[in-house]
Amino acid sequence: MLTHLADEPVLWDQYDKAIVSFVVPSVLDMRERLHHDIEDLSTDSVLGESFRAMQTACCKFLEENQSPRSGYGSPYEARLHITLGELRAVFGIHIARIPCAYDLEVNPHLEGALPLDAD
């Protein structure tokens, strides 16, 4: 899953490049992949909890970014960036949590999604 997420630019591409034409399909892809992978996981495992939280974040993002028209314009773009930040925050927490629990390395593409170290 972490390898798959590293290929999703919605998690690491700069906000000024984040447009609906690639953000929404990327979130849809992640939601479907998570849905498929959750079926084989224990509900109380770290992986199961993390996948469910990430899937919920995808659903929330998609619900909050439905546009009655083309999906462009100031109010819609502002909402997109706010909800994209929220999605990235949830994913960042779980992208950090999974490697810690299973002694895995984080793909360099995903390092920007990780929470900042609070020294």
pLDDT digits (tens, 9 = 90+) for 46-72: 999 999 999 999 999 999 887 655 455
28-37 contacts at long range (C-beta below 8 A, 24 or more positions apart): 28/58, 28/62, 30/4, 30/5, 30/54, 30/58, 31/55, 31/58, 31/59, 31/62, 33/1, 33/4, 34/1, 34/58, 37/1
This prediction's pTM: 0.85
Cα 34 to Cα 109: distance, rounded to the nearest angstrom = 19
Exposed, middle or buried by CB within 10 Å (0-12, 13-18, 19+), for 2?
A: middle
pLDDT of residue 107: 87
